[in-house]
A and B are shown apart, each in its own frame.
With several copies, the nearest count.
Chain A
Amino acid sequence: MLFDLSSTPIAVDFLRQGMMSQDCGGFVAFEGWVRDYNEGKAVLRLEYEAYAELAILEGRRIIHEALDQFPIKDVRSVHRVGLLDLKEVAVWVGVSAIHRGEAFDACRYVIDEIKSRVPIWKKEFFADGTTAWTRCQNCAGDIGNK
């Protein structure tokens, strides 16, 4: 389980405990939370839709890239799919390493790449009754919502 999709709440504490190791000195985790506001409108909930087979393939590629590029011990990530309420964890990335600088760098690499490359889409349900598939922030070639 290096990268996976989950249709149930992400068990963040279970995941981090599963990475605990006595030969690592540092652990960095990122969590993406469902936010109540986007593009100037109040958001009530979200739906994530994935092209699951390719999302898992591409997610695992990103994990392997991180393992190749950074001197880290372990890296894992889970992305939610389906309907999510406010404050739920939409995506989690955990990285363990001997030194913390590399854990920070690898964690940031993984979340940036996931957000720009993995085929998962977000539909926002606004308080005014409208919905929208969130506009791409990557079209201009940058890697988006950093």
Chain B
Amino acid sequence: MSPPEPLVRQVRLRYFAILREHAGISCEERETTSTTVEELYGEIKEEKGFDLEKEFIRVACNGDFVDLDCSLADGDEIVFIPPVAGG
């Protein structure tokens, strides 16, 4: 039998561009009870006062894009990606 999922996960967050400026930091380690990246974004958005709704962001987990309903695992590196307007 595998051990039960911990209730608290340790994740690393990195911030870029407008979210980095709003957060005032470019990365942080945090403990979270969120179980999906969507839930985590809601938590962070409220805490930092981000005004970007989740419909307008993409999310990367451990260096690649994932869906919003992706489960969080202990040790994940999460990046919320604001809309891109490169070039």
- Report A's interface with B, CB cutoff 8 A: 32, 48-51, 53-54, 57-58, 79, 90-91, 111, 114-123, 133-139, 144-145
Contacts and interface: CB of A to CB of B under 8 A. Distances in A.
Contacts of B79: 51, 54, 119
B4 interface: no
B70 interface: no
B56 A54 contact: no
Contacts of A32: 87
B63 to A, nearest CB: 5
Interface of B: 14, 16-18, 20-21, 55-56, 58, 60, 63-65, 79, 81-87
Given A54-B60, A54-B65, A79 B87 contact: yes
B87 A119 contact: no
B65 A139 contact: no
Given A49-B16, A49-B17, A133-B18, A119 B85 contact: no
A134 B81 CA distance: 14
A116 B56 contact: no
Contacts of B14: 51
Contacts of B60: 51, 54, 119
Given A121-B16, A122-B86, A57 B63 contact: yes
A58 B20 CA distance: 21
Given A54-B64, A133-B17, A133-B18, A119 B56 contact: no
B59 to A, nearest CB: 11
Contacts of B64: 54, 57
A137 B16 contact: no
Nearest to A123: B17
A144 B63 contact: no
